[in-house]
Amino acid sequence: MGRVVIVDHPLAQAILTTLRDRNTRQIEFRKGLVRLGRLIGYEIVKSMDVETVEVETPLGVKARGVRIRDLDHVVIVQVLRAAMPLVEGLVKIFANARMGVVSARRVEETHRPGSLDFDVEITYVKVPRIMEDDVLIVADPMLATGSTITSVLSHVLKYGNPKRTLVVSVISTKYGIDRVLSRYPFVEIYTVAIDPEINEKGYIMPGLGDAGDRAFGGS
């Protein structure tokens, strides 16, 4: 069922503060996103079922431990280009994930100032087949109006019907979250912060600016 998880670990909040700082430069910004991807990954693992297993150690004795079956059934889809560093961090946790990409662009040219609705141009979709026991993670660092992510989800979910569908973002807005959940009530949203406003150009306020430009350079 749909839910919103705020990753409120102090380290995640401290990294986010660095990302918000206008003085944080490109390389540090990218590194921060990687580190957040890893921390969000840890948080996601907490929601996965754990089963007890027994192994034999080199000393010839049994040791009880755990196995997380879902780790072998993760599909990660990244929205180009801003999600790339975030996914680099997620993959450190979900090392066996099958991966997909979607190239999506908010069409600024047709946007009416003040409107919270954007046309979204999807130019490339490459997603592995999604199985019924998969946990699908769709990563996009900024969930502002929800226009991009709902459009991306409509394409990605054509590839199968996963057990769980997670949207991973760094900063979200209530408007964007409500929009995603009203169209896809089963989605679980993992985010590090929920910011109060969206400006007339569709940017999250206070936000962190344009995540793609800050990670990779101006458009």
Q: How far apart are CA 54 and CA 57, in angstroms?
A: 10
| Consecutive H or E run containing 52 | strand 51-56
Query: Contact at 8 Å (CB) between 87 and 76?
Result: yes
> With CB under 6 A, what is the number of residues at the site for ligand URA?
9
Q: How far apart are CA 58 and CA 134, in angstroms?
A: 33
If one asks whether residue 204 binds ligand URA (CB under 6 A), the answer comes out as yes
Q: Which of 32, 89, 162, 207 binds ligand URA (CB under 6 A)?
A: 207
Site mask for ligand URA (CB under 6 A), range 144-183, x = bound: x---------------------------------------
If one asks whether residue 79 binds ligand URA (CB under 6 A), the answer comes out as no
Contacting range for ligand URA; rule: CB under 6 A; set: 29-37, 38-46, 56-64, 199-207: 199-207
If one asks whether residue 39 binds ligand URA (CB under 6 A), the answer comes out as no
Q: How far apart are CA 161 and CA 218, in angstroms?
A: 37
Q: Where are the alpha helices (DSSP H) in 57-102?
A: 84-93
If one asks whether residue 203 binds ligand URA (CB under 6 A), the answer comes out as yes
Query: Contact at 8 Å (CB) between 53 and 67?
Result: yes
Contacting range for ligand URA; rule: CB under 6 A; set: 27-35, 46-54, 125-133, 209-217: 209-217
If one asks whether residue 42 binds ligand URA (CB under 6 A), the answer comes out as no
Assigned token pair, 97: 């994930």
Min CB(109)–ligand URA separation in Å: 16
If one asks whether residue 121 binds ligand URA (CB under 6 A), the answer comes out as no
Look-up: residue for tokens 């918000």?
20
Q: How far apart are CA 56 and CA 52, in angstroms?
A: 14
Q: Which residues bind ligand URA (CB under 6 A)?
A: 82, 142, 144, 203-204, 207, 210-212
